[in-house]
Chain A
Amino acid sequence: MSTAMQSPSALEQFWQNLRQSPRRILEATFRTGKPVTDRARSLFVFGNVFLHLHPVRVHRWTLRWTTTLGLGVASAAAFLITLVTGVLLMFYYKPYPDVAYQSIKDIHFVVPTGRLIRNLHRWAGNVMVVTVILHMARVLYTAAYRKPREFNWLVGMGLLVVTLALAFTGYLLPWDQLAYWAITIATNIAQSPRELTDALGITEYFDPGGFMRLLLLGSDTVGPEALIRFYVLHIMILPLILGILLAVHFWRVRKDGGLARPADADQRLGAPPGHLYPVFTQAPQKTYQLAAIVRGRTPAVGNGPENTVPSMPHLFYAELGVLMAVTLICLVLSLLWDAPLKELANPLVPENPAKAPWYFLGVQELVSFSAFMGGVVVPLLTIVGLGLVPFLDREEQGTGEWFGGPGGGRLALYSMLFGLAAALAVEAFVIRFGWIREWFPNVPQLLVILVNPASLLTLIYALYSIFIIRRFNSVRAGAVALFTCFLCGFVVTTAIGTYFRGPNWFFYWSPADWPKH
């Protein structure tokens, strides 16, 4: 009896705990307290499942604006926007021919905020394509793909392909004229290996082109089967693959020792600001077994002031800033320009001109000479060539620096001029004088496949890059030359396909010159 008088009864304890529970729930949720000390900032990162993909501390070189221009984070931010808006669109979208078109109209005109959400989805998808390409360019020009980051470069190539596939599968879903004919053309490009097998007379026995098209369409025309397939790819399979690859991509950034930086980054940055201080001033007594199997040296022991800053807040605020900037850009674009929606798809009357989404208009320009060479061989060669870059360039000079390596920025500039000139010259020649079949109407198809502007331009770029490798005695210089040429070829063919091709894929200086119906 007497003990019960001294300590509170269970009922009293219950009331006391109940009163304190809001504070305790808060403490349990935000376990680390305010991130004001370095220790709390570290706990803030590795005690949180969403943040712990980040390092606890990050090198000052990584946080410089010019190191990355925030392009990788911008791509991820754009993906995040497409993910959120895409799930919202799924509430109203119905993947069946004609009904799909009506549901997009509903989303545009009836669904509350539907128009803005669809515009955001469309623009964020386009922004993502741009930032992914620019991000790849940044990694290449700063030679950040080099050992030990070769594998992550390959993962990045996979992400580029999946990003383009996502953009492309989404293009069919509105089921308007634009969508229908773009997908008709694109799936026929997938079938174009038939050009070669036909020319060799073996299509009957070996028909990879027909198989690919059948697999994509689930039928022999673009119909309900194709729409549901593209839908499943767009909302489930491809986002899943993208998510998995993204996780690997981010994780490898950490495992490969953060972002690439020059060997003398510390000297170049100079002394750290006064409020920074070294974390490890002497070798730690404990050994960290997991750290021991991570490549590179253990965290900055013996490096003096090691030039790292806590990720919270420095890295996170920078990432959040990029996310907000991308959101703002997409929002402004969405408010200014609606996502296009043409008339309902009509399988009997093609759009004239029927244009693919802009990022494929370069390829479409090339397929207007040969579907197989321009639509399959050249893009495949480009992907394989890009993937091989880190395995061919095993040099060390210039890692982590813009235009690092022999030749530097001047080489990139000259390569740009050469790449633009070559692409423009080939295009101008073809537009002015036509191509083989106009001169010799009975030329064999095999020759048309092999010798056309697409293969010619690829050959010119390859030869130029080999010349640069010899000239600078450096594979890195060749990689910069080839990539710059590839970018220029992409820009020139895309621009011509977008702005200078009119009805019947004829060349026009301006859409104002297009013939009236």
Chain B
Amino acid sequence: MSAPTGIQRSRLDPEPVPRRDWLGLASLWSAGVALLFSLFGMIRLPKPAVVGSPSKRFRVSLPEALAPSAAFVPPGRSVAIFRDPEGVYAISLVCTHLGCVVKPGPEGFECPCHGSRFGPDGHVTKGPAPKPLPWLKVIPAGGQWIVDESATVPPGTKVAV
């Protein structure tokens, strides 16, 4: 039995084998996929693989006369280093709220930007800061000390002198 012929077809109906449609769809989808991938690439590019900021580890020698609760802030660093009978420890001075540099004082730390207050061990006592000031890793290096700003340690970790 042959295929039915003479079916009423309007000239406006699409052709049964839409070859032109196939080409059209192929170009449409390839354009779409290309756009998607190029967007992905364009978003990928600005996200740096290597952060080119200065080294976070630095070596410091503490002054001989450093009172137990007095902070020593090495020049050029936002870190406070303390020495008491139990040992040496370092607390970051970068406010956990919005990144201002907090000021060490006798009762702890205060932030100039939005009024956050931190206790002597860095815990939040007042204001909008969401987290305590992190304690940083301190490594003894033959009379000197190496502080690593990129490594945090649990609060209360003191390195014996």
Contacts and interface: CB of A to CB of B under 8 A. Distances in A.
Do A and B pair up? The answer is yes
A445 interface: yes
A504 B130 CA distance: 17
Contacts of A434: 126
Contacts of B112: 350-354, 503-505
Contacts of B97: 188, 367, 371
A448 B52 contact: no
B47 A214 contact: yes
Contacts of B130: 195, 198-199, 370-371, 445, 448-449
Interface string B109-153: 011111100000000111110110000000000000000000000
Contacts of A181: 100, 113
B155 to A, nearest CB: 15
Given A198-B130, A371-B97, A185 B113 contact: yes
Nearest to A368: B114
Contacts of A185: 98-100, 113
Contact of B115 (A199, A445, A506): A506
B6 interface: no
B98 A184 contact: yes
Nearest to B99: A188
Interface residues of B, number: 27
A350 to B, nearest CB: 4
B76 interface: yes
Contacts of B131: 198, 445
B106 interface: no
Contact of B113 (A218, A219, A445, A505): A505
Interface stretch (A107-115, A220-228, A464-472): A220-228
A348 B48 contact: no
A46 interface: no
Contacts of A214: 47-48
A448 B52 CA distance: 35
Contacts, number: 96
Contacts of B127: 368, 437
A211 interface: yes
B110 A215 contact: no
A220 B128 contact: no
A12 interface: no
A378 to B, nearest CB: 14
B17 interface: no
6 contacts: A185-B99, A185-B100, A185-B113, A367-B128, A441-B126, A448-B130
B53 to A, nearest CB: 5
* Interface SS of B by simple majority: loop
B53 A350 contact: no
B46 A229 contact: yes
A371 B48 contact: no
A121 B59 CA distance: 46
Contacts of B157: none
A225 B113 contact: no
Interface string B79-103: 0000000000000000001111100
Given A219-B51, A229-B46, A369-B128, 14 more contacts: A184-B98, A184-B99, A185-B100, A188-B98, A195-B130, A199-B130, A221-B53, A225-B52, A350-B112, A353-B113, A368-B114, A368-B115, A438-B126, A503-B112
Interface string B42-71: 000011100111000000000000000000
B99 A370 contact: no
Nearest to B123: A441
Nearest to B48: A218
A235 B27 CA distance: 35
Given A348-B101, A506-B115, A368 B128 contact: yes
Contacts of A505: 112-115
Contacts of B100: 181, 184-185, 350, 354
Contact of A215 (B46, B77, B98, B128): B46
A69 to B, nearest CB: 37
Nearest to A365: B114
Contacts of A349: 101
A16 B47 CA distance: 66
Nearest to B102: A350
Question: Which of A184, A199, A441, A504 has the most B CB atoms < 10 Å from its CB?
Answer: A504
A353 B77 CA distance: 21
Nearest to A223: B53
A184 B94 CA distance: 11
A81 to B, nearest CB: 30
Contacts of A504: 110-113, 115
Given A370-B128, A371-B130, A448-B130, A350 B114 contact: no
Interface in A270-318: none
Interface string A435-478: 00110010001001100000000000000000000000000000
A189 interface: yes
B92 to A, nearest CB: 13
A455 to B, nearest CB: 13
A506 to B, nearest CB: 6
Nearest to A503: B112
Contacts of B125: 441
B50 to A, nearest CB: 10
Contact of B124 (A198, A368, A437): A437
B100 to A, nearest CB: 4
Contacts of A198: 130-131
A270 B34 CA distance: 58
